[in-house]
C-alpha cells in the first residue's frame, strides 16, 4: 500500500498534524483524512467515522473518511478536472 501525506498549512492543522493522505490499495487511489503523529516518527492515523444508514442513524461499523478516485488514469483525470476549476483553466 502506497501512502503519501500532505500536511495542511494553517496554524491549527500544523499544530495537530492534520492532513490528507493519497493512498493506493489494490489498484484504487483514495484521498483519506489523516493525522501524522508528533511522537512516533512517520506514523499516520486515518480518521474514521460512522456514516448515516438508511434510517439516518449512525451505522454500527466505522469506515475511513475517504474519497475514492478510481484507478491511476481515473484519479489523474478527476484531479486534473478540479485543478482546472480552481485555476480557471478551461482546458484550451
The DSSP annotation for the chain comes to -EEEEEE--SHHHHHHTEEEEEEEETTEEEEEEEEE-SSSTT-EEE-EE--B-TTSSBPSS-EE-EEEEESHHHHHHHHHHHHHHHHT----
**Residue-wise pLDDT tens digits, 21-36:** 999 999 999 999 999 8
Distance CA 92, CA 26 (A): 34
Beta carbons of 13 and 19 less than 8 angstroms apart: yes
- For the chain, give every domain's residue range: 2-87
pTM of the model: 0.77
In the structure grid, which three cell numbers stand for residue 39, read together? 511522537
**Residue-wise pLDDT tens digits, 44-80:** 999 999 999 889 999 999 999 999 999 999 999 999 9
Amino acid at each position: 500500500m502506497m501512502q503519501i501525506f500532505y500536511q495542511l498549512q494553517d496554524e491549527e492543522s500544523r499544530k495537530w498534524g492534520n492532513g490528507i493522505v493519497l493512498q493506493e490499495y489494490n489498484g484504487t487511489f483514495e484521498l483519506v483524512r489523516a493525522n501524522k503523529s508528533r511522537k512516533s516518527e512517520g506514523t499516520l492515523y486515518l480518521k474514521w467515522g460512522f456514516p448515516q444508514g438508511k434510517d439516518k442513524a449512525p451505522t454500527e461499523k466505522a469506515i475511513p473518511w475517504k474519497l475514492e478516485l478510481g484507478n491511476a488514469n481515473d484519479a489523474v483525470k478527476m484531479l486534473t478536472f478540479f485543478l482546472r476549476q480552481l485555476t480557471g483553466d478551461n482546458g484550451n
